[in-house]
Structures are given as C-alpha cells and as structure tokens.
C-alpha cells in the first residue's frame, strides 16, 4: 500500500531561486512540500536574476504580482500539473487597499501556477536558524496551498490561516492543513498516478 501511495502525486513544484536563497532552506522546502502536498519537487537549473520590471523604486521593493507574472513565463510553468515557487531574499510587496505598496511574506495565485516567497520579513525577531526555517516552510506551504485553490482558513492553527500582516499567525500555525482544507485539496487536486 505504501508503494502504491508513493506512486501517486498531485503534480510537481519547481523551486526557482530569484537572485539568492539559502541552500539549507531550499533543502527543507524540498522535503516539506513533497510531504505536505504529495508533489514531486524539482529545482530550476539556474539562479534567475530578478527582472528589472518587477522593481518598485519608491519603496526599494520588488512587486510580487509582477514576479508571479514573470515566473509564469518560465518553460516549466507550461507543464501540466506544475507549480512554480519563486524564492528570494529581497523585500517583496503587493497592493493591499488602502496601501498601494504593502510589504509581504509571500503571494500565490489562487488557483494558479505561480507563487513567490521572501525570507526578508521572515527574518525579523527570529530566535535561531530553526525558527527561520519553520517560518519559511510555513509561508511556502501556505502560498503553494493558494495555487491549489485553497483560500484563507478561519481555523487558528491551520497552515492556510491568514497572516494578516503579522508574523504571529505564522509562528503559531501548526504547519499542516486542518481537515477542512485537506478535504478541499483532495477535491481540487486529487492524487494521480505518476
């Protein structure tokens, strides 16, 4: 039964390093994405420069929505069942009314093919490397959850709980999907044979 389960997947997630991202955090994401979402995780073969058109000079940030558009132009994004996760250390932002440029941890199309996370804001008041690793993991899993069509969840410890602009919810999340979100994932993206 375990072998049959291992031969089933929801597709693939391709990790794309945008300018730079720590190797130990990438390795952790490879494991955690495969475990939580039953996806094949691959790395894009090259480190990708941040596109100039995604930079927002007034706040010295990169626009996450433009980064998602860019990630969707990569060849892997056209592969059926494949999600692209951009990983960066620079500050990223989006529009969050009434704020034209709001700094964020990550953003994912819902549903969609692309998501991006940044470790920049996740480093604030971090206790140690394990704490940072956990924050990065939860943020990445959350944004990939959006690409599978999972909305924010009202359950207090669910992986899909809205961060609401604060790191507190990320720090208190369980790191896994609660039963209601798990059921939505199974409906939206059932496991298929490889």
Known catalytic residues are 143
For the chain, the first-to-last Cα distance in angstroms comes to 15
Dist. CA 156–CA 120, nearest whole Å: 24
Distance CA 131, CA 42 (A): 24
Cis check: omega of the bond before 146, within 30 degrees of 0 = no
Token pair 């924050």: residue: 135
Q: Which helix (H) or strand (E) holds 147?
A: helix 129-147
**Residues facing residue 192 across a β-bridge:** 9
């Amino acid at each position: 039964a375990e072998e049959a389960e291992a031969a089933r997947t929801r597709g693939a997630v391709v990790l794309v390093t945008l300018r730079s991202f720590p190797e130990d955090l990438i390795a952790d994401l490879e494991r955690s994405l495969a475990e939580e979402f039953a996806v094949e995780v691959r790395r894009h073969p090259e480190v990708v420069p941040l596109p100039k058109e995604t930079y927002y000079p007034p706040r010295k940030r990169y626009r996450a929505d433009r980064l998602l558009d860019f990630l969707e132009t990569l060849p892997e994004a056209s592969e059926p069942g494949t999600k692209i996760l951009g990983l960066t250390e620079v500050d990223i932002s989006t529009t969050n009314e009434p704020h034209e440029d709001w700094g964020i941890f990550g953003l994912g199309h819902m549903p969609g093919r692309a998501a991006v996370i940044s470790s920049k804001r996740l480093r604030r008041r971090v206790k140690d490397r394990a704490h940072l690793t956990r924050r990065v993991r939860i943020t990445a899993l959350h944004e990939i959850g959006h690409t599978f069509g999972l909305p924010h969840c009202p359950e207090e410890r669910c992986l899909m709980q809205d961060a609401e602009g604060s790191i507190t919810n990320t720090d208190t999340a369980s790191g896994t999907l609660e039963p209601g979100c798990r059921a939505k994932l199974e409906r939206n993206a059932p496991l298929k044979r490889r």
